[in-house]
Amino acid sequence: MRLFNTLSRALEELRPLDPPRVGLYTCGPTVYNYQHVGNYRTYIFEDCLKRALRLCGFQVKHVMNITDVGHLVSQGDEGEDKMEVGAQREGKTAWDIAKIYTDAFIQDCRSLDLLWPPEVLCKATEHIPEQIGLIQRLEAKGLIYRTSDGLYYDTAKFPGYSRLAGESHIAGIKEGFRVDANPEKRGATDFAVWKFSPKDQKRQMEWDSPWGKGFPGWHIECSAMAMKYLGESFDIHCGGVDHIPIHHSNEIAQAEGATGKPFVRIWLHGEFLLMNNAKMAKSAGGFVTLAHLKEKGFDPLDYRYHCYTAHYRKQLDFTWELLESGKTARRRLREAAAAVKGEALQPITAELDKAFRAAVGDDLNMPGAVAAVWDCLRGGAPAGAKRAFLEQAESVLALGLFRDEAQAPLPAQVQALVERRAAARAARDFKLSDELRKDLESRGILVEDTKQGQRWRRK
Ligand code: AMP
Ligand code: ZN
């Protein structure tokens, strides 16, 4: 398997530290709002990577974080914590906000058929001691200084700081640096590892530390949790291209500053999803969620197909027309799958197998992998071989090709009712759970209670 390593700017053969095991860390969501389909483009690319690694015979240990504290509104460690902003916006506590949007994220990941759950799904708020421990190691090495509002990493003392983003990019950050934003910061690329709680104000999320009450900076969580679960050096780290400067450069500085060992062997970065010629972003207003998709009658997997129309290192446009094409293409594939479903399996034609594996192993060339599927369907292979090929392709593509439509995801509103009923039953509120059962039945959904919990099916 060859992958494009942002660090070396070259295609490299994956050679895991401890084959066949592969350690994989992917940066997860900041849970102060819904994730948009742009975010999900990155998670889908990472899911394909994991699936492709499995196809190649690797055993993947995947760690994903949930950022539920410490991500400040501005990149320069200024402004409020996104969690507390979300709490204010919705009149809830920061802890409630974290729970609501973590649950929404998990539901979205399931409806996109991401391999779920990851081997480790870890929350920043549940790893405060690990983060403090890492800051102490950095402090012992003289890499940290204190200002009135927190502890900062002195990036001038970490020689490799510009390695990932490139010298010229870091020079750009230095040029754009405004000292007045934080006059106590020694260098443009220095960043907070611990912020103090404001003296006059109680924060909802704060912890005691050797330096005073406060909360961790955003970047420290990823270094601390990645090393806790994958070791001080591991194989692959992914995220969106926006993380190359700042977040991932900081992760490297923190980990390698503390250990003196290479942190990650291969860095992979997914390009943006664009809407109206700009990066889809929460801050930019118009963003599309999976709920919007479902409201318009799309299956989240139609979007998955759309993602395969561009290589992950190329930008991809989002429009409803393009999504419509994705839906049509996926329907055709599903029809083709239905046509061969009952056939006795036959060995996959070597040529087809080779074409698919070559595409997937060539830096995750998903457009090539999908083209191989269309070639197979058009070609003259026996139906049983087509079935075997499609089943194998589906293990990487996850387009629901063989999925029983009766279990296709429910519209968001109905799904919410299903979940409310499960919660009511768990709380032994049988009156409410009975009412919800009737409501669901009137919407064509039958629920039954089994030893494994509630099940639903379409009437
Ligand atoms: P965030 O919740 O902002 O930390 O983002 C979660 C993930 O989505 C990160 O890996 C980002 O790089 C990625 N991301 C954010 N916006 C986009 C976009 N428009 N297209 C693709 N990936 C994105
Ligand atoms: Zn991260």
234 band by pLDDT with thresholds 50, 70 and 90: very high
142 and 41 within one domain: yes
List CB contacts of 323: < 8 A, sequence separation 6 or more. Answer: 293, 298, 302, 303, 306
Asked whether the beta carbons of 73 and 30 are under 8 A apart, the reply is no
262 and 283 within one domain: no
Question: What's the structural domain count of the chain?
Answer: 3
What pLDDT does residue 97 have?
93
169 and 74 within one domain: yes
Residue 174 has pLDDT above 90, yes or no: no
323 and 445 within one domain: no
352-382 residue pLDDT tens: 999 999 999 999 999 999 999 999 999 999 9
Q: Which of 193, 225, 228, 229 is nearest to 211 (CA)?
A: 193
Collapsing DSSP states into helix, strand and coil, what is residue 65?
Answer: strand
Last residue of a domain, one of 223, 253, 270: 270
CB neighbours (10 Å) of residue 449?
A: 13
β-pair partners for 454: 449
What pLDDT does residue 148 have?
94
Asked whether the beta carbons of 24 and 238 are under 8 A apart, the reply is yes
Q: How far is the CA of 102 from the centre of ligand 1 (A)?
A: 15
Q: What is the CATH number of the domain that holds 349?
A: 1.10.730.10
- Cα distance between residue 132 and residue 213, in whole Å: 12
Q: What is the CATH number of the domain that holds 70?
A: 3.40.50.620
Residue 180 has pLDDT above 80, yes or no: no
Q: How far is the CA of 26 from the centre of ligand 2 (A)?
A: 7
403-459 residue pLDDT tens: 877 767 777 788 889 989 999 998 899 999 999 999 999 988 899 888 778 888 878
246 and 288 within one domain: no
Q: How far is the CA of 220 from the centre of ligand 2 (A)?
A: 8
Window from 45-49, 97-101, 175-179, 304-308 with minimum mean pLDDT: 175-179
Domain range enclosing 148: 2-270
String of DSSP letters for 260-297: SS--EEEEEEEPPEEETTEE--STTS----HHHHHHTT
169 band by pLDDT with thresholds 50, 70 and 90: confident
Q: What one-letter code names the amino acid at 253?
A: A
285 band by pLDDT with thresholds 50, 70 and 90: low
Q: Which of 4, 75, 390 is nearest to 242 (CA)?
A: 75
Asked whether the beta carbons of 94 and 240 are under 8 A apart, the reply is no
310 and 244 within one domain: no
140 and 75 within one domain: yes
202 and 121 within one domain: yes
Residue 179 has pLDDT above 90, yes or no: no
Q: How far is the CA of 94 from the centre of ligand 1 (A)?
A: 21
* Average pLDDT value for residue range 42-61: 98
334 and 262 within one domain: no
- Cα distance between residue 398 and residue 355, in whole Å: 18
Torsion of CA 66, 69, 70, 72, to 10 degrees: 90
Tell me which H or E stretch contains 317: strand 316-317
β-pair partners for 25: 63, 237
285 and 154 within one domain: no
pTM value > 0.85: yes
Ligand 1: residues whose CB is within 6 Å?
Answer: 27, 29-30, 38-39, 41-42, 239-240, 242-243, 270, 272-273, 279-281
Q: Which atom of ligand 1 is found nearest the CA of 28?
A: 6
Residue 198: is it exposed, middle or buried by C-beta count within 10 angstroms (0-12/13-18/19+)?
A: exposed
From residue 78, alpha-carbon distances to 101, 183, 307 in Å are 23, 12, 34
Last residue of a domain, one of 385, 405, 425: 405
382 and 264 within one domain: no
141 φ, ψ (degrees, to nearest 5): -90, 5
What pLDDT does residue 36 have?
97
Residue to mutate (ligand 1; options 33, 39, 306; most atoms within 8 A of CB): 39
What pLDDT does residue 73 have?
80
115-159 residue pLDDT tens: 999 999 999 999 999 999 999 999 999 999 999 999 999 999 999
Both tokens of 235, joined, read 């194989």
Q: How far is the CA of 155 from the centre of ligand 2 (A)?
A: 18
53 and 169 within one domain: yes
- Cα distance between residue 199 and residue 395, in whole Å: 53
196-205 residue pLDDT tens: 998 888 889 9
What pLDDT does residue 284 have?
67
397-419 residue pLDDT tens: 999 999 877 767 777 788 889 98
Last residue of a domain, one of 245, 270, 295: 270
What pLDDT does residue 192 have?
95
* Ligand index nearest the alpha carbon of residue 46: 1
Window from 59-63, 240-244, 331-335, 439-443 with minimum mean pLDDT: 439-443
What pLDDT does residue 175 have?
82
305-345 residue pLDDT tens: 999 999 999 999 999 999 999 999 999 999 999 999 999 99
- Give the residue whose CA is nearest to atom 1 of ligand 1: 29
